[in-house]
Structure 1
């Protein structure tokens, strides 16, 4: 007579048996899956929002370009403020690869709505002389009025940066402001300039007008230069010696776009911290699943005993409860991934960002769900498989 062998459970049978335990306890299943869902949703949303923010920064960086360099005076050997030569801009324009160069010079004056406002109340607005090419070099735009031209650059006319106009409470041209010790007419208001935020907070007058009316000495304090993309590093190396041949060490050269790149990198570092919080939430969810499965084993001892008495092996009992744990975790993980993607999309739309959810984050979330379900269900499954059929059936 052939030896009796226990029936083997197919994949469909395993899923059916595992799902049966979930269908009989919907409220408990929902609460247990909720913990997993919160952890996964947090991780997906954190990665998605961070990636969307970083993508927005990188797109802005691509749009603004990385070929803008700024030159400013450093410190002398004796620790004093250095000074750029008055001919600096013309010298920079002679460098091969330079497309355009312009400059601003700090003016010792304040700008106010009226002469009745105390001179100390500056509102954080700087007064600067500007060359006509500044707007082209910075690729800026005038949102109201016009930029300085050959005529207005010699007269008491001023163009306000976006932030300066806001702080002065001005939204149109033709009005006058008290600049230095006389009235200047506002002829233009600029739009935002992400690569030159100092311009946004400035009142800009022509070099000739600044020398004529504001005692400006003609020395630039910042030179803005754009070159061909392939020539940026070469030009960067030539600028100090070109601007100040005798003291190149007193010249500082920087690239404003580096600040945006650093901001994008910082967003990635902040993501790591928030991911840790999501991992903690996922861990708590895993503990909830494990607790649910342990209680399920205790409540279903008679069921386990009955199955064992009908020939189910310990391995089949382990598989049943492990499958139930994995299904519970997968349910929570899937809901969490959908919630995280929805949160990312809504947040990105609210901030006019591109919605970016890396594929690896979804894969990592599913892997985390599977791992959590495995570890959470391992102990309850082993415990269930070791119950003796007679003991389980006689348990009240």
Structure 2
């Protein structure tokens, strides 16, 4: 322990005498290790951002319809009509929405049953919207198409407990002479196929254009069955693919094969490939910077040994062993690498955070990133100093003392 203290003391005295050179060496090590750490950090952030963007591009909406076997017409695969609304729920039995919404990763689910399309809708003043779609939906369907309304609850009411109400899209309201401000809708009606509906709200958004939407149960009673109904499921970004594996059983446990799911792209292979390629890029950059750092430190130590040849000869003449001479340079390199690595780690942290802020990325920085700079500086410094230190240890005292 005493010997180590003496060595460190000698090194500090020597370093203080070569202050400018030491600062330059520390700066070089800091930049080298900092560049490596920053490259790793920025590449990891880029990988994370690319992975997030790819996950977001995966379809996050799944459409479920009844599998049909007919070759012509609309009625071949139609289930028998029944006076009971619950008995009409053949494709999507009672409770199917709740089961789907309970699946981890599902944000919303809703049903839509179209009644007719491409027909006129007439407002209270006689103005008409030329081409509208009349359909029954549940409240969750609005969420899946990116819109909502404060009166959505009315869409889930049984047909025999609520008046004939409708929620219409803004373009239909404008064409039919109905205000688009929900606070002024009292008394406004819209007539479709000789059926008059009380307008309770107006919704906006491209997905709802041309729509006159009524409660799902009322549409179900009018249609006589749900064979043409569609369930739309909104999932968290990237979660649609695994969720499709259990959707059929959740919707209709008794007959999952009667359901057809929309195709959901699986980009997991692509995401893995991108991550692998970025990892290889990081390894290549890191390897190059490690080599450059090692060469830099080795060059500095060779110069230091050459400049201190006379001092080495004097120490050997005064009784210093070869191991003491070698440990002197290795310890000096250790301090240089450690201090330079710490400075490099601070530089890398600042650089990584700055790049993240400029590109509006999420900062990905773990504790091992902070330890990367000192670890690299220490390892490369010792590796780069071994040869100069051994060379210094084997210097003949008499020859070294005569060196100018």
TM-score by length of 1: 0.58
Aligned counterpart in structure 1 of residue 208 of structure 2, from 192, 200, 204? 204
2: distance between equivalents of 1:36 and 1:75? 67
Give the SS at the match of 2:37.
Answer: helix
Are 1:23 and 2:24 an aligned pair? no
Query: 1:94: Cα distance to partner?
Result: 3.9
Any gaps of 5 or more consecutive residues in structure 1? 1-7, 78-83, 110-128, 159-172, 175-186, 191-201, 210-217
Any gaps of 5 or more consecutive residues in structure 2? 70-76, 80-87, 102-107, 119-134, 156-164, 174-179, 182-201, 214-226
Cα deviation 1:297-342 (Å, max 9, x = unaligned): 1111111111111111111110111111122212221111001112
Aligned counterpart in structure 2 of residue 281 of structure 1, from 280, 286, 289? 289
1:11 corresponding residue in structure 2: 4
1: distance between equivalents of 2:287 and 2:136? 53
Give the SS at the match of 1:319.
Answer: helix
Q: How does 1:178-217 map to 2 (within 5 A)?
A: 202-205=206-209, 207-208=211-212
Give the SS at the match of 1:98.
Answer: helix
2: distance between equivalents of 1:261 and 1:157? 44
Taking structure 1 as reference, are residues 208 and 276 closer, same or farther at Cα in structure 2, changes over 3 Å only? Answer: same
Aligned counterpart in structure 2 of residue 346 of structure 1, from 349, 354, 368? 354
Taking structure 1 as reference, are residues 266 and 391 closer, same or farther at Cα in structure 2, changes over 3 Å only? Answer: same
1: distance between equivalents of 2:64 and 2:323? 75
Are 1:321 and 2:329 an aligned pair? yes
Give the SS at the match of 2:232.
Answer: strand
Query: 1:247: Cα distance to partner?
Result: 6.0
Query: 1:45: Cα distance to partner?
Result: 2.8
Taking structure 1 as reference, are residues 137 and 50 closer, same or farther at Cα in structure 2, changes over 3 Å only? Answer: farther
Q: How does 1:114-153 map to 2 (within 5 A)?
A: 131=137, 133=139, 137-138=143-144, 151-153=166-168
The answer to which of 378-387 and 38-47 deviates more is: 38-47
Aligned counterpart in structure 2 of residue 295 of structure 1, from 281, 289, 303? 303
2: distance between equivalents of 1:104 and 1:50? 45
Aligned counterpart in structure 2 of residue 251 of structure 1, from 254, 257, 261? 261
* Partners of 1:14 and 1:320 within 8 A in 2: yes
Cα root mean square deviation, aligned: 5.3
Structure with more relative contact order (C-alpha pairs < 8 Å, separation 6 or more): 1
Query: 1:287: Cα distance to partner?
Result: 0.5
Cα deviation 1:354-385 (Å, max 9, x = unaligned): 54421223334332222101111100000001
Are 1:91 and 2:92 an aligned pair? yes
Aligned counterpart in structure 2 of residue 375 of structure 1, from 367, 379, 383? 383
Query: 1:74: Cα distance to partner?
Result: 12
Taking structure 1 as reference, are residues 261 and 56 closer, same or farther at Cα in structure 2, changes over 3 Å only? Answer: farther
2: distance between equivalents of 1:243 and 1:207? 33
Query: 1:392: Cα distance to partner?
Result: 0.6
Taking structure 1 as reference, are residues 359 and 251 closer, same or farther at Cα in structure 2, changes over 3 Å only? Answer: same
Give the SS at the match of 1:285.
Answer: helix
2: distance between equivalents of 1:138 and 1:367? 50
Q: Which has the larger radius of gyration?
A: 2
Give the SS at the match of 2:365.
Answer: coil
Equivalent residue pairs, number = 309
* Partners of 1:56 and 1:354 within 8 A in 2: yes
2:233 corresponding residue in structure 1: 224
TM-score by length of 2: 0.57
